[in-house]
Structure 1
């Protein structure tokens, strides 16, 4: 018997794969991306407060002067800036004041104007330092309220935006916003009302030489449930509200040297609120607290207080 010849095994070598390594952004790159996100978040927050103001104009007064103070915090998550890098994310503390006045042109139409001032401190996560974003705003608003409870609110506003950080220096921008909201107040009896509402807003934010001009479309759909109560001469209206909000932007980027970094949008989020409006004589008071949870943007608290004098 002939001996069996040994067989040479065929083994394919197993080459190790290269691990994906996330590159750390430079401090300037991170600040450029994060401050663009913070600028838009502040401009959107100012618009939310104004539409809340319009929601109070459904009681038939001939004229109003008002002041609103808002304090909130935005937590913006780390977002992808390129195929191999992420931003740090940031925490933004916001403080704003709005002043305005309006008058009824007819029983159904009201026009008004406002000015505002807002500032925010932006703390970049990790060891990326901090920055600031400030705005000064002015604008016009109008609302139409039909006898059947249907309403249509419109806002046009301009904001002068300033931002700064140690690496980007001081920068100045112009922001323009147009917004429209429609809804209907349904009277359910015994003081109860339910108000479904939808809103669409467009914002354009200017840019510097190493940034792209930013355009954003924001859509909101929600419902408010309220109960009218009279107590010891006061007219009270506690309410709760829930909104679904989404923001879409153009493919926005910033440039550092020859590298481009994406500025991600905040995308979808859910906002819930509890509040109360109170009236006695010509005086109106309001207080609201809300929280927002989203894919990239959370708002662990937002507290706003308003006083208006009506006649």
Structure 2
């Protein structure tokens, strides 16, 4: 903006300079007219009148003083410091109004290049050109007022009503322009640039050719009219209420159209005659009750561009999973629409965007399809009818994971992951106690740390990645029996499982356990190891909504497990040995129920697992020079899951949950005697099988003898 008083346009320093201008001049010319010209006067009390053809330059008006510019009078570069300047049928150039001062422009007055700093300007039946509205300032355009090329800065406001018109306003970040109804009607804004600020258009207000970007917003309320809207990158057009009048054209040039959520749960319809460009459209739906926001492109064939629909749903369970909900009616045209995130979750199921003629709808393929029923053989009507054998109801087919919501998939995966955590803790003897035959072992205390990863695929139930870490401590005592020893002990431990369900969903399981064990070692190499454990599982699940908001659920449950392992150490020559083993592990993870923060209701049955393992160790016992021993080994096992099926009910829909299947396990390890009373053990393994891969599994233990 060009001003005849540029020193007042920007900084507090400029204001201070103006305040230091000749304030010592207490006398002033009260009436300036008939071609008179005055310079650098100060008005602290009373009124200075600039009348017919009079001119005043650089006047300072402060205190209780005021300046009236009327009947073709002209003022230049006036400083209004907390006082008042009235411009009525006169002209002001470059006035600076600050410290709560006021400039009133009415009755065909003209104000050019006014700067407002924490002050106000009121314009009625007059014109204001190139006004700069700084922080804390308000320009009010009332009856038939006209404002041209106004700049609205941070915390500045331009208000229009009663048939006022604003042309070419620029609303910068933090600034605001409002178009409201008055007694004489609404207001009009033409060619407004909203660059980080806000334009709000209320009933009877009209905005022509507004362009919004850089974080700016255009808010449209009931009865508002907006034509030629352009939303650039970072700009948003908000549909605040129902009843916005038809917009003749909306161009999304990287910007966004947003249907604002309603506090009363209602939805909105927004109609445009033409839609073009490429951008995003934020909408709200209630799939459960078949209600939603709707965008209508009214002009035949006037829908074009590529647009992304961002849909936020209530998440409640629909009455039927195969419903459809119309989001956009294009009335023809070549516009293409995609769905942000690829789907919308509603209850147990997910909905995808489909084109049906001129409409773009949300639809779900998650309804549980039924197996076809064999047709009944027709009965000959000429013969007596026999009772028809009742047909067994068809078994529902479990929907695929891609048809279920993130919350449903996470609930199923978390249910099976708890049982997988059991598997990480119920391990072979060598992982827990190392080699009991090494040294004089009559019992001791021990500890071990575990770390594992499971990658579970959809072939088992639901895909997820599980990272397990844990720590156990225990103690035992050996008792001599015929031809061997029996170790009896107890243990405590905790473990944590971090879960990644994909699609931004995650979870964690914290486990605390205690158990008892008994191990029999026969002098002929046979051993029997038995374990009984109890665990408490605390599970937290977090899934993102379609808009990225966190949906949380948590529950606690219990588990009990038993393990028995039988093997035999067969010594070969030169310290080599082979140790065939069989192991059977049985666990039960208690079912649980919870309600997620979005209302998703989950109830799971008990999950039973029965796993068998058949394998062998092959290693060598070596005597070290210091009298200590080391025993490296390699191993191979095959694990079979004999149970592992359960049900998870999500909002009344019963879904299958299955544990990963059979797998081959390969590994290596060793036990090192570091002193007469200390032993260290290490075991590492890799496994892969039906629906599961274990990229790594490590167990590191330490045992100290009594």
State the TM-score, normalized to the length of structure 1: 0.87
* Alignment partners' CA distance in 2, 1:236 and 1:188: 16
- Aligned: 1:101 with 2:475: yes
Give a deviation string over 1:112-137, Cα, whole Å, max 9, x none: 11011100110112x14100011111
* Preserved CA contact (<8 Å) 1:182 1:199: yes
Report the counterpart of residue 29 of structure 1 in structure 2: 408
Report the counterpart of residue 14 of structure 1 in structure 2: none
Q: Indicate which of 582, 585, 592 corresponds to 1:208.
A: 592
For residues 130 and 61 of structure 1, do their structure 2 counterparts lie closer, same or farther at Cα, with a shift above 3 Å needed?
same
Report the counterpart of residue 670 of structure 2 in structure 1: 276
- Counterpart secondary structure, 1:57: coil
Give a deviation string over 1:143-192, Cα, whole Å, max 9, x none: 11112111111000000111111246111111000111111110112111
- Aligned: 1:240 with 2:634: yes
* Preserved CA contact (<8 Å) 1:72 1:95: yes
* Alignment partners' CA distance in 2, 1:310 and 1:80: 43
* Over 2 Å off, 4+ runs: 20-24, 49-52, 54-60, 248-251
- Aligned: 1:179 with 2:559: no
* Alignment partners' CA distance in 2, 1:131 and 1:49: 28
Tell which structure's C-alpha radius of gyration is larger: 2
Report the counterpart of residue 74 of structure 1 in structure 2: 454
Report the counterpart of residue 258 of structure 1 in structure 2: 652
Cα deviation for residue 297 of structure 1 reads 1.4
For residues 164 and 50 of structure 1, do their structure 2 counterparts lie closer, same or farther at Cα, with a shift above 3 Å needed?
farther
Cα deviation for residue 44 of structure 1 reads 1.0
> Which has the larger displacement, 215-224 or 20-29?
20-29
Structure 2 gaps of 5+ residues are: 1-364, 370-398, 543-550, 594-602
1:194-205 alignment runs, 5 A limit: 194-205=578-589
* Alignment partners' CA distance in 1, 2:653 and 2:557: 23
Report the counterpart of residue 518 of structure 2 in structure 1: 142
Report the counterpart of residue 57 of structure 1 in structure 2: 436
For residues 80 and 238 of structure 1, do their structure 2 counterparts lie closer, same or farther at Cα, with a shift above 3 Å needed?
closer
* Preserved CA contact (<8 Å) 1:145 1:151: yes
* Preserved CA contact (<8 Å) 1:39 1:161: yes
- Counterpart secondary structure, 2:490: strand
* Alignment partners' CA distance in 2, 1:176 and 1:130: 25
Report the counterpart of residue 131 of structure 1 in structure 2: 507
Give a deviation string over 1:188-247, Cα, whole Å, max 9, x none: 121111110101111111112411111110100000011011223131110011110012
Give the root-mean-square deviation of aligned CA atoms: 2.0
Q: Indicate which of 686, 693, 696 corresponds to 1:291.
A: 686
* Alignment partners' CA distance in 1, 2:475 and 2:652: 49
For residues 198 and 55 of structure 1, do their structure 2 counterparts lie closer, same or farther at Cα, with a shift above 3 Å needed?
farther
State the TM-score, normalized to the length of structure 2: 0.39
Cα deviation for residue 55 of structure 1 reads 5.2
- Aligned: 1:303 with 2:703: no
Report the counterpart of residue 111 of structure 1 in structure 2: 488
For residues 197 and 91 of structure 1, do their structure 2 counterparts lie closer, same or farther at Cα, with a shift above 3 Å needed?
same
* Preserved CA contact (<8 Å) 1:226 1:238: yes
* Alignment partners' CA distance in 1, 2:524 and 2:460: 48
- Counterpart secondary structure, 1:99: strand
- Aligned: 1:218 with 2:626: no
For residues 207 and 310 of structure 1, do their structure 2 counterparts lie closer, same or farther at Cα, with a shift above 3 Å needed?
same
For residues 200 and 168 of structure 1, do their structure 2 counterparts lie closer, same or farther at Cα, with a shift above 3 Å needed?
farther
- Counterpart secondary structure, 2:449: strand
For residues 34 and 168 of structure 1, do their structure 2 counterparts lie closer, same or farther at Cα, with a shift above 3 Å needed?
farther
* Preserved CA contact (<8 Å) 2:460 2:659: no
* Preserved CA contact (<8 Å) 1:212 1:253: yes
- Counterpart secondary structure, 1:267: coil
